[in-house]
Structure 1
Amino acid sequence: MTALAEQINRSVEAMLTYVETQTTDQAADILKVPARDYLDPARFELEMARIFKRLPLMLALSIELPNPGDYKAMEVMDIPVLITRDRAGQVHAMLNVCTHRGAPLVKAGQGTASRFVCPYHAWTFQNDGRLFAVAEKAKFGEVEKDCHRLKQLPCQELAGMIFVILTPGLAMDVKSYLGGMLDDLESLDFSHWHFCGNRDIQGANWKIAYDGYLEGYHFAAAHPETVHPRTFSNIMHFEGFGPHLRIGFPQRSIGKLRDVPRADWHRHQNDGYDFVRTLFPNLSIFVAPEIAQIALLLPGPTPGQNRTILTYATPRPPADEAEREKMAMMASFFGDVTNQEDYVLGLSIQKGLQSGALDHVTFGRNERGNQYFHRWVDHYLTDDPAAPPPRL
């Protein structure tokens, strides 16, 4: 049995016990987070500088750029990012900014191109960022091509995901950053899934939105007809891997696993229990048997706003049009639940905090994932390499 399988078996054992005893995973005490942490512009800028512009962010699935020449252009917190796959299959990330006069090279979206031509003066770049040609070079003058390469961003592809750091020149080691979470992500095998598309939704402060992915305490009240009929409310199991989490949610059918050999429990994901996997600071992954929803939270442009990109993938391509429509309906269902039952409520929470009604947001002992997340946010904001990391 692999170490990952035993990890999951232990998690299932814990969830079974919680259901049978009507308990849940708990922290040692409650945690109070200042309400201003969701509102303060100065703190927001510090979060952008010390978290979002320093840490690896998962900006694309590998299957979004499956072939040489494919690209994805996107705005990430007002930073224009261009991700490409070159002729050798290597991924690159760069600023989507022409090195002549600063114009964007390509509009946001996905496509295939071996070269990018600036719409302003027709400078041409290869899809790895190298300057290929200067329009009317004889009139323009001599240009050192190496000095006019598109500004490169640190980029690595791992576990079927493409990670980017938004600050040029920073060292990047995604394998170390993911740590013990890497085996779990590799087991999902996203590099062989089928990309179904993206959907954008708008929400409140990025931490308000992210808080909703980190607990099931709200299932009964916020999801009475969607999530709660399948999944117990307020029964969770948390496993931490550095700043990342794997959160177990027992289904109402989990008791049947008592009749299954313990060694096989890890084979029953979505058949007795579900996991939500979160990658700090802004990614939530929910994998159902038929489809996965991967939520990428992008803060801003103000402290009270976030844009979330929901990406959908299926284990295999649809066999026919009927199956394609079924997948689209499932993606729409998951997206509607997230938007209408979580994000709309989050926007109301933002208004509530802005009213000054609360000095603190209180996280209970049962909201252990939220406590862990907020302690990691504070840890990175201290900017002290010698500070001990938070413990779950």
Structure 2
Amino acid sequence: MTPPINDRSTRIGDVAEILLDYVEQKTTYQAQSIAHVRTSTYTDPDQWKAEMELVFRRVPLMLAFTAELPEPGDYKAMEAMGLPVLINRDKDGTVRAFLNVCSHRGAPVASEGRGNCARFTCKYHAWTFGQDGRLIGLSESATFGDVDKASLALRALPCEERAGMIFVCLTPNAPLNLDQYFRGFLEDFEGVGFDKWTYLGHRVIEGANWKIAFDGYLEGYHFASLHPSTIQPRTPSNRTFYEGFGPSMRIGFPQHRIAEALKDIPRDQWGEQENNGFDFVRILFPNVSAFLAPEITQVAQLFPGPTPDKNRTVLHYLRRDPIRDDEDRANVEAAINFFRDVTYQEDYIIGMEIQKGLEAGAHDELTFGRNERGNQYFHEWLNWYLQDDPSLPEPKM
């Protein structure tokens, strides 16, 4: 079921108690049964195309952070699912999103990256657009002919800023209901003041089919074998608790030291101890994994493609406090590179080996154990969207 999150501290304290029990009893969250997923799920071009149309073009995607566009006039131009997207904050502080395509001849009106400007000018013929997307100027308009400027605005995309993140739907005029979609989960980010955090930078890595890569973020069963010197010293393998919020998840991981960390803290204060004895990975369906930590936070943003056997992952880094000085910046850059290297070298490389294995056709199905409920839940929701029938019952955790 979807747990209530309106009393966030109480709920987190309850999860901490469960995680402590998992460590002491050497057990973990258990699904009702094992589950099977077709191998072709990761290789079939037709399914990949269906995922693009029925999932990535329809659901709210987290495309930017408040911390990336903190000031009026800030913008971010990027590619998402093969589409050029422009996100900007206007002079009144409102965030908007558009297809980054000039209405004259289709060129971009902003170069990829971030910046600050009062208007956007297409470099092809210098047509100019305001922060609200309206066409406000044509070069040499006297020779061009009469045009209806109101009908030549940038094509807007549904967009909403919540809890320190900016969500966009890639289909113009599509409904965007974040409360219905996230079922209270965004209040969890609001609880840590995510909208006040500092953006530190990003790194880009590439890997196998997006679901192969994403599967790795959804369980801790592999920590001892795949991460013996990086994650395992902090976090035990196969000790995981899952909560569902619609198709999204909060995954609890105990630390080895959870008993020691909590032993002198009153039970009613355990809900304020995240990262002291236990951690969470927050999953925003379909493609975001966020590990919030006080030292540095990594948010992985997975983009499928450009072909079914590949994904492009943008690893974003944030923390509560701004950069203090040059030494602090150097330490931050070193930490960013460390997390990037661990993610790529220990997770994404084996993911590409898995891709080759699945394409070899050795097995018709993959098996997810009772201890891998997060993976089961993700694939159940993915299949629910691919059936394209809202009358079907939704998956339950």
- Shorter-normalised TM range: over 0.9
* Structure-2 residue corresponding to 1:229: 233
Partner-residue secondary structure (3-state), 2:37? strand
1:176 positional shift: 2.1
Residue 366 of structure 2 aligns with which residue? 361
Shift of 1:185: 1.5
What percentage of aligned pairs have identical amino acids?
54
The counterpart of 1:78, out of the listed 76, 82, 100, is 82
* CA RMSD of superposed structures (Å): 1.1
Q: Find 1:247's aligned residue among 229, 242, 251.
A: 251
Letter in 2 for 1:323: D
Aligned counterpart, 2:57:
53
C-alpha contact (below 8 Å) 2:236/2:254 kept by paired residues? yes
Partner of 2:216: 212
Residue equivalent to 1:15: 19
Of 77, 94, 97, 1:93 maps to 97
**Aligned runs of 1:1-392 on 2, under 5 Å?**
3-256=7-260, 257-392=262-397
Displacement of 1:258 after TM fit?
3.4
Conservation of the 8 A alpha-carbon contact between 1:295 and 1:311: yes
Q: Distance in 1 between matches of 2:269 and 2:280?
A: 16
* Alpha carbons 1:105, 1:118 under 8 Å: kept: yes
3-state secondary structure, aligned to 1:14: helix
2:184 aligned counterpart, secondary structure: helix
Instruction: Give, in angstroms, the shift of residue 2 of structure 1.
Output: 6.4
Shift of 1:261: 1.4
Output the CA distance in 2 between the equivalents of 1:175 and 1:104.
32
Q: Is the 8 A contact 1:61 1:190 kept in 2?
A: no
Deviation above 6 Å: which 4+ runs of structure 1? none
Instruction: Provide the rounded CA distance (Å) in 2 between the counterparts of 1:210 and 1:154.
Output: 25
In structure 2, C-alpha distance between the alignment counterparts of 1:278 and 1:297, rounded to whole Å: 11
Q: Which amino acid aligns with 2:368?
A: F
Cα shift at 1:188: 2.3
Distance 1:106 1:86 in 2: 15
Tell me the distance in 2 between the aligned counterparts of 1:385 and 1:151.
Answer: 28
Conserved 8 A contact 1:160-1:186: yes
Classify the secondary structure of the residue corresponding to 1:180. coil
Tell me how far apart the structure 2 counterparts of residues 262 and 180 of structure 1 sit (CA, whole Å): 25
Q: TM-score, normalised by structure 1?
A: 0.98
**Shift, 1:161, TM fit:** 0.5
What is the rounded CA distance, in whole Å, between the counterparts of 1:190 and 1:182 in structure 2? 10
- Bigger mean CA deviation after superposition, 183-192 or 25-34: 183-192
Amino acid at match of 2:215: D
Q: Deviations over 1:63-113 (max 9, x none)?
A: 101111110000111100000111101011000000001011222100011
Q: In 1, distance between residues paired with 2:193 and 2:316?
A: 16
State the distance in 1 between where 2:339 and 2:148 align.
50
In structure 1, stretches of 5+ residues that fail to align are none
Q: Counterparts of 1:225 and 1:16 in 2: how far apart (Å)?
A: 23
Structure 2 CA distance for aligned equivalents of residues 380 and 186 of structure 1 = 27
Aligned residues: 392
Asked whether the 8 Å contact 1:85–1:128 carries over to 2, the reply is no
Secondary structure, counterpart of 1:24 in structure 2? coil
Unaligned segments of structure 2, at least 5 residues: none
Moved more, 306-315 or 173-182: 173-182
Between the aligned partners of 1:180 and 1:358, the Cα distance in structure 2 is 39
Distance 1:237 1:363, change over 3 A: same
Specify the SS of the correspondent of 2:375. Answer: helix
| Alpha-carbon separation, structure 1, partners of 2:184 and 2:178 | 12
Provide the rounded CA distance (Å) in 2 between the counterparts of 1:308 and 1:258.
39
Deviation at 1:267, TM superposition (A): 1.5
SS in 1 for 2:9: helix
Distance 2:396 2:263 in 1: 31
Describe the superposition over 1:317-374 as per-residue Cα deviations: whole angstroms up to 9, x where unpaired. 1222111211221111111111111111111111110111121111001001000000
Secondary structure of the 1:121 match is coil
8 A Cα contact 1:194 1:317, kept in partner = yes
Q: Distance in 2 between matches of 1:95 and 1:182?
A: 26
